[in-house]
């Protein structure tokens, strides 16, 4: 008997022949954990949620919730029996009910289960006060998403599934809501799977993240590891938070690169001396130093408020992003030479 | 949830479709049956006359309904003039006046010593006016009557198309330097064409189905021929053969209508909703044209028959006293209520079935089962009798006494004829309920049945109300099916009016006609908002 709250064992998720994710395995270990599934649009993330909810059948493998098999190739529990709530990306509110009644619809289920939020609390928390008497066709897509979320929460499910819950919500409100919802989910201790294509959102919300690329789950780990120790080139490319630079392994802790000279650090995975590898360089890995003789040309500069991101061109025409604090006293223009501190020290070396 | 094996939904949808399809099959098979010699006799003599009369009638009606319908829709959609909001809905009241009652009014007004004669005598003193007053009867009278009672179809569909037409389209036309006349001819009218054609093909189907008007004016068309073959010569097979010819015409129109309606759909508004069109304000003599056009149309199509019937009801009060209005009203209500219940329940089954089974086959079946509205009532009634006689011989159960001359038979025949109305109504309601709404309900723990009762029914109750009213209006006006299949001594306002009129007792037909128009008008006013697609 397993100890995990939810187990997805070797499941192939498919809505159609084209839209397929093969052999997925991951677990939610404890009740209350938040999982984010991250991947580009159209990869089949929604299908995964629909299958877990019971709206689609599995082709192979098993889904086990609280020690009970709910889906397998020869068994299918009906969605209404699963106690799993899914909040759809598109508007799926009941058109004949206003906002409050829609949320109350959710509260009909599991009436005896205690929840430390009332319908009114959720309305306040999610800023739905002004629209509570309105009907679904009178509210915006973002508002509908919040109502749908509140409705799903009120049904007190064992497992909550959220499909791009913040996709129609504007940036400033999004951050506030992410904070609140994370807090609510932690307080009510409802296990949640969130699907998103926004890596920041996933890293913030999740206890664990899954990266889905090209019909399979590429990596499933805590957000820190996903970011710092990506397991494959595809994951690096998907996260778009670094580039790969060719280098030769010259010692236990050193590499030599034509672009950046000597690089020192700790290898995550041992590589034989003399082998040519592709080293992951992330924007925070390089430090600016005006006095350094390693000078690269600035090709682009983005102001991000707290910092600048300079894009530098190496002699091999690689474009490397570098963070610089925005209070840095002097600015560099495009086509200027930009010094990089030598030798380059990177705490952990991720090579492919 | 995909349910693949045949289940209750399959079976019931199949049954519904079969019920509608059987009369058509009956007509088809009867065509190859041997009939009396009367058919060959008729084929050589009158058949061509019947067909040519039907075609003449059709051409005349199409011309007039196009003129009235598009003209009125154009004026109320694009111009602002005194009374425009009144005319907008007043013009749909013409739906309340069946063509045969219009025909009675025309005759009552223009006949020798009729209402026109009385008015002239009252105004200018006694004189022999009869020779001045034109006689509106025969083919011409039929065309006028049918046109005024049916132009509403063209008006409503064209107006809806204008209503959804983007203001941008018109603005672009102006921007390209088109005058408003050119704008109308080159942009507005062509883009409303699918709607206009859909409206005209509905008119055409109704015209070919018309029985009351042409039989009153003694015009021999295919419908009266079917009726006579059955009543006078007691030759069901021959009646069915004539039906077959008529059905071929109808089938052609049905295809046109379906095709155009499919294309008319592309007019749905863009995401930003419908921008209220800037109407052009008319002043002076221009507004006079608009008011006159709409005013005369409203007067002719609605006020004229109402006044005429009212005038006679008052003038001959003894017929009103003799009229058993309560009984007639009660009979009508029984028919309406039973038919509505049957149709709406079966529409729900058909729609819900094809929704939860996601079956293409069921979709096709449902499409077949709505073809009933294209079958003229008279064909349906005759085919129904034929079918029941077959079954009677086949099973030794007394189907005849169950279905012919019984309320059950009437309700079933109405069902076949008007199922399209209710089925399409429920369907368009369902189209607005996203599939993920059902799924959300399941995920909140609602079973399929509970989803149906808690989500679908409350949401669709407006549609059900609207459909019931539309069915009611159709049944109240319906003549041939009721006339042929009703139980002995069971009368409605429609049959009473028809029977008096066919006995040349037009004065007596006035009171039941007036009742019929009033009830139908009331119902139409209830749902005018929906008919004008402004909900």
B344-386 per-position pLDDT tens digit: 988 888 888 777 776 777 777 777 677 777 778 888 888 888 7
Q: CA B459 to CA B351: how far, in whole Å?
A: 14
pLDDT number for residue B38:
60
Cα gap A287→A112, rounded to integer Å: 58
Q: What does pTM read for this prediction?
A: 0.75
Give me the pLDDT at residue B48, please: 84
More confident residue, B236 or B162: B162
- Rounded CA separation A43/B308 (Å): 71
Does the pLDDT value for residue B30 go beyond 90? no
Question: pLDDT band for position B535 (50/70/90)?
Answer: very low
pLDDT score, position A2: 56
Looking at CA atoms only, how far is residue B337 from chain A in angstroms?
26
Average pLDDT of the residues in A183-212 = 90
User: Residue A27's beta-bridge partner residues?
Assistant: A7
Flag the least confident range among B135-149, B218-232, B333-347: B218-232
Cβ distance of A109 and B445 shorter than 8 Å = yes
Q: Which residue has the tokens 């992330």?
A: A282
Same fold, A6-235 and A242-349: no
Cα–Cα–Cα angle for A92, A93, A99, rounded to 5 degrees: 155
- Cα-based distances in Å from B115 to B53, B305, B319: 29, 12, 18
Question: How distant is the Cα of A107 from the closest Cα of chain B, in angstroms?
Answer: 9
* Interchain contact A43–B (C-beta under 8 A): no
Average pLDDT over residues B200-216: 88
Q: Flag whether pLDDT at B83 surpasses 60.
A: yes
* pLDDT at position B247 over 50: yes
Q: What is the average pLDDT across A170-185? A: 88
Element (H, E) at B236: helix B236-264
Flag whether the ipTM exceeds 0.90: no
pLDDT in tens, B103-126: 999 988 888 778 888 888 888 877
Position A219 scores a pLDDT of 92
CATH class of A6-235: alpha beta
pLDDT tens, position by position, A263-308: 888 888 888 888 888 888 888 888 888 888 888 888 888 888 888 8
| In chain A, where the domains are located | 6-235, 242-349
Chain A residue numbers with beta carbons less than 8 Å from the beta carbon of B441 are 94, 105
Q: Check residue B61 and give its pLDDT.
A: 95
pLDDT at B270 over 50: no
**Whether the predicted pLDDT of B2 surpasses 50:** no
B214 closest CA partner among B202, B224, B225? B224
pLDDT confidence of residue A141? 84
For range A207-212, the mean pLDDT: 92
**Terminal-residue alpha carbon distance, chain B:** 33
* Sheet arrangement for strand A294-303: A319-325, A307-313, A294-303, A337-340
- The CATH number, out of the four listed (3.20.20.70, 3.40.50.280, 2.40.50.140, 2.60.34.10), of the domain defined by the range A242-349: 2.40.50.140
- Least confident residue range of A171-175, B124-128, B198-202: B124-128
CB contact under 8 A, B446 and A85: no
Task: Confirm or reject contact between A46 and chain B (CB < 8 A).
Answer: no
Instruction: Give contacts of A85 with chain B, Cβ < 8 Å.
Output: 443-444
Which among A300, A312, A305 has a CA at the least distance from the CA of A327? A305
Asked if residue B273 has pLDDT above 60, the reply is: no
**Higher pLDDT, residue B68 or B455:** B68
> Which chain A residues have a beta carbon less than 8 Å from that of B437?
92-95
Q: Over 80: is that where the pLDDT of A206 sits? A: yes
Where residue B462 falls among pLDDT bands split at 50, 70, 90?
confident
């Amino acid at each position: 008997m397993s100890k995990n709250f939810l187990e997805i064992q070797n499941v192939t998720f498919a809505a159609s022949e084209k839209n397929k994710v093969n052999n997925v395995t991951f677990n939610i270990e404890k009740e209350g954990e938040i999982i984010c599934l991250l991947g580009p649009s159209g990869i089949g993330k929604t299908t995964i949620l629909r299958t877990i909810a019971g709206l689609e059948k599995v082709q192979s493998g098993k889904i086990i919730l609280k020690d009970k098999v709910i889906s397998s190739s020869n068994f299918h529990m009906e969605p209404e029996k699963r106690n799993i709530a899914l909040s759809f990306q598109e508007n799926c509110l009941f058109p004949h009910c206003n906002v409050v009644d829609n949320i109350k619809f959710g509260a009909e289920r599991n009436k005896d289960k205690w929840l430390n939020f009332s319908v009114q609390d959720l309305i306040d928390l999610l800023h739905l006060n002004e629209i509570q008497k309105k009907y679904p066709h009178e509210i915006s897509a973002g508002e509908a998403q919040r109502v749908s979320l509140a409705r799903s929460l009120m049904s007190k499910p064992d497992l909550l599934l959220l499909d791009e819950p913040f996709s129609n919500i504007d940036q400033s409100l999004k951050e506030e809501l992410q904070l609140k919802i994370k807090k609510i989910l932690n307080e009510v201790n409802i296990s949640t799977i969130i699907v998103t294509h926004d890596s920041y959102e996933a890293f913030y919300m999740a206890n664990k993240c899954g990266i889905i690329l090209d019909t399979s789950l590429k990596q499933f780990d805590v957000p820190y590891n996903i970011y710092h120790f990506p397991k494959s080139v595809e994951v690096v490319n998907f996260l778009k938070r670094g580039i790969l630079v060719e280098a030769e392994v010259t010692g236990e802790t050193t590499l030599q690169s034509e672009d950046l000279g000597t690089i020192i650090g700790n290898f995550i995975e041992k590589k034989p001396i003399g082998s040519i590898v592709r080293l992951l360089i992330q924007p925070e890995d390089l430090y600016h130093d005006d006095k350094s003789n390693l000078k690269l040309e600035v090709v682009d500069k983005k102001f991000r408020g707290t910092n600048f991101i300079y894009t530098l061109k190496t002699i091999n025409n690689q474009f490397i992003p570098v963070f610089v604090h925005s209070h840095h006293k002097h600015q560099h223009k495009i086509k200027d030479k930009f010094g990089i501190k030598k030798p380059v020290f990177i705490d952990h070396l991720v090579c492919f | 949830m995909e349910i693949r094996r045949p289940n209750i939904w399959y079976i019931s949808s199949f049954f519904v479709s079969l019920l509608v399809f059987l009369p058509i099959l009956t007509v088809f098979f009867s065509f190859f049956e041997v009939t009396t010699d009367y058919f060959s006799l008729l084929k050589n003599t009158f058949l061509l006359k019947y067909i040519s009369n039907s075609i003449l009638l059709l051409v005349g009606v199409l011309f007039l309904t196009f003129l009235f319908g598009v003209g009125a829709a154009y004026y109320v959609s694009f111009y602002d003039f005194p009374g425009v909001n009144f005319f907008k809905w007043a013009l749909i009241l013409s739906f309340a006046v069946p063509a045969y009652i219009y025909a009675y009014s025309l005759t009552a007004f223009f006949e020798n010593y009729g209402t026109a004669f009385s008015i002239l005598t009252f105004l200018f003193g006694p004189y022999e006016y009869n020779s001045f007053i034109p006689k509106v009867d025969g083919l011409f009278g039929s065309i006028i009557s049918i046109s005024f009672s049916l132009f509403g179809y063209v008006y409503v569909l064209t107006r809806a198309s204008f209503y959804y037409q983007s203001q941008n389209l018109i603005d672009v036309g102006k921007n390209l330097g088109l005058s408003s006349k050119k704008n109308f001819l080159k942009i507005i009218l062509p883009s409303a064409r699918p709607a206009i054609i859909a409206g005209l093909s509905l008119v055409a189907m109704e015209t070919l189905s018309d029985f009351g008007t042409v039989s009153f004016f003694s015009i021999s068309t295919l419908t009266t021929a079917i009726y006579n073959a059955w009543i006078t010569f007691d030759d069901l097979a021959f009646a069915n053969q004539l039906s077959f010819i008529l059905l071929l015409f109808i089938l052609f129109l049905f295809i046109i209508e379906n095709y155009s309606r499919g294309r008319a759909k592309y007019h749905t508004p863009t995401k930003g909703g419908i921008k209220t069109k800037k109407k052009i304000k008319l002043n002076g003599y221009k507004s006079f044209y608009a008011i006159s056009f709409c005013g005369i149309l409203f007067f002719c199509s609605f006020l004229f028959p109402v006044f005429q019937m009212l005038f006679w009801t008052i003038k001959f009060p003894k017929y009103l006293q003799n009229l058993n209005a309560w009984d007639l009203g009660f009979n009508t209500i029984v028919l309406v209520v039973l038919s509505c219940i049957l149709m709406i329940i079966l529409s729900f089954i058909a729609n819900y079935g094809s929704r939860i089974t996601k079956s293409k086959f069921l979709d096709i079946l449902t499409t077949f089962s709505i073809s009933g509205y294209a079958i003229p009532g008279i064909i349906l009634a005759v085919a129904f009798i034929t079918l029941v006689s077959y079954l009677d011989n086949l099973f030794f159960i007394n189907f005849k006494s169950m279905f012919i001359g019984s309320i059950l038979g009437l309700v079933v025949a109405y069902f076949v004829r008007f199922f399209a109305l209710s089925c399409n109504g429920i369907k368009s309601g369902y189209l607005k309920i996203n599939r993920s709404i059902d799924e959300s309900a399941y995920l909140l723990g609602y079973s399929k049945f509970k989803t149906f009762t808690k989500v679908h029914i409350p949401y669709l109750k407006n549609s059900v109300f609207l459909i019931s009213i539309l069915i009611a209006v159709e049944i109240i006006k319906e003549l041939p099916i009721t006339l042929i299949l009703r139980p002995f001594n069971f009368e409605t306002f429609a049959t009473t009016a028809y029977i008096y009129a066919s006995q040349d007792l037009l004065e007596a037909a006035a009171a039941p006609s007036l009742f019929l128009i009033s009830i139908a008008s009331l119902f139409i006013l209830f749902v005018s908002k929906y008919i004008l697609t402004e909900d």
